[in-house]
A and B are shown apart, each in its own frame.
Chain A
């Protein structure tokens, strides 16, 4: 055995933790090697010195107190049942103290709470006690929904009755308002359209109300019922009025054309033509129309030449024209022959906010008046009337003509129309740029 191995095994040899064979070999080496023997002896001396000093012992009183306290603690633990239970559960406590266990337990608790608070549809309906139900005759329901619905209660029936009564009241109110509007205007609004709109809204709204009755309680239905649009908006009224005006105009134009044709036929057949009628067809036509519409009123200042025409028309198409007369008696008045007078009349109507009537008069002014201020004023007034009535196409056409005639004025008017605000009643009334009254005075 060499010195290195001996030095590494000296400690084990000192404590007798080595095989006997190795111990013999070490003893042999120590006996022959001075260096290893010196190390061994010094180690042994150090250990003997340590062992020679008295071991530090605790005081007897302290030992007694320590043991008694530990014994008492143990007894208390046993009394409380902690020691035994803790010791029995000790192997499992590490799993219980694991954070995953805590997370899993929390998840289980949440799951139990959710499952317990879960309600079926039947339970929900019973809990909320929905008073309003609707039979399958009124609203198409699926088989399952029908089966789940509770039977109709008296309160539900009452609520339904009240709702239907209130809806009908609202509809009647709306009808009355529409009829009032019709009566105030000279032109009649087509009744069928308004009726259709109210009926359609009713048809649309009622199923919704019934559905809400099914799903919500009566109070919420009351709130919803108030939100039903009972009357048409002013904008829609204006649109309807515009439509009505255009239709009336078409009718009027058609009838005048018919009259013209019939007049011509009568003239040819009776050979009673006059020079005035031949030379000025348009003036005659206008006179005829005016006389027809004011036949009940005696007009002394009328030209005698018109008598013939009146008789003729009365004889030929009396009932047809009389019917038309009754309808349009308020609208059509005497149409002047001079463009200035027509402009004046139409401007008066414009100021009275009778825009369609003003347009009617303006249409009578021929287009070939000339590129003067009068023409521009006519076109401007026509554009303004169309703008208020909402005829966009005609406004654009008028503006095109105006810009062609006078670009600066056309662009100015276009800007003015563009910047005009929309009022509650519809389009804003724009005053004409050209002072028509002054213009007419100077013309005179």
Chain B
């Protein structure tokens, strides 16, 4: 099933290259053994996926291992995809289960220390901040905000964190999240509400500059 190119990705220079949905890419990969489709699939979803894994586990090295394992699982078990759920939902379910296994085996080692001292991993977040077009004062504020956000997410309970991350990073609906975490839709919504409340309280005044349009 071909899908029209989204407006935000649309190239104005008469580029007629067709884009495919995640379902199509996975089907193409399974039926035609198309490796390009596999790469495109992860190009589409990879950033969100890694962000989710990174925030969920809280450690870059461990997140990379889990990410690679998820890629492998998707490649190997692509035939078993039953088309009952969304492809993104399916891949995020794999990612969530693999992350849980990793946390169980190795434990959760947050990137940012709870006591507020900048750790070695904290610099990873800082590096991620876009520093090309902003002045140093704004850059410092963003770094502080990123650190605070990372700390606030680490402080969240697992149930609330996973719901928040699946909604924000995975872009899944509450219905899909309820299927992944195996609970009711209303439970997911309440978990999300509590997660937002905690995040709001943690960020405090820092969030005021980014809130309202």
Contacts and interface: CB of A to CB of B under 8 A. Distances in A.
Contacts of A70: 38, 68, 71-72, 74-76
Interface in B181-201: 189, 192-193, 196-197, 199-200
Contact of A66 (B67, B76, B145, B200): B67
A44 B193 contact: no
B44 interface: no
B211 A42 contact: yes
Contacts of A153: none
A128 B77 CA distance: 60
A77 interface: yes
Contacts of B46: 57-58, 63
Contact of A74 (B51, B75, B146, B169): B75
B119 to A, nearest CB: 15
B211 A46 contact: yes
Interface string A233-257: 0000000000000000000000000
A443 interface: no
A54 B128 contact: yes
Contact of A49 (B33, B47, B145): B145
A56 B169 CA distance: 10
Contacts of A45: 200, 203, 207-208, 210-212
Contacts of B42: 63, 67
Interface in A1-48: 8, 10-12, 15, 17, 41-48
Contacts of B80: 87, 90
A225 B168 CA distance: 98
Contacts of A71: 35, 38, 75
A299 interface: no
How would you classify the secondary structure of chain A's contact residues: helix, strand, loop or mixed?
Answer: helix
A71 B193 CA distance: 40
A73 interface: yes
Contacts of A48: 207, 210-211
Contacts of B38: 67, 70-71
B50 interface: yes
B159 interface: no
B196 A11 contact: yes
A52 B145 contact: yes
B13 interface: no
A258 interface: no
Interface in B79-93: 79-80
Given A12-B189, A56-B128, A87-B80, A49 B210 contact: yes
Nearest to B173: A17
* 5 A-B pairs closest in CB distance: A45-B211, A87-B79, A49-B210, A70-B75, A45-B207
Interface of A: 8, 10-12, 15, 17, 41-58, 62-63, 65-67, 69-71, 73-74, 77-78, 83-84, 87, 90
14 contacts: A11-B196, A12-B174, A15-B174, A53-B145, A55-B51, A56-B124, A58-B50, A65-B68, A66-B64, A66-B67, A66-B71, A70-B71, A71-B35, A87-B77
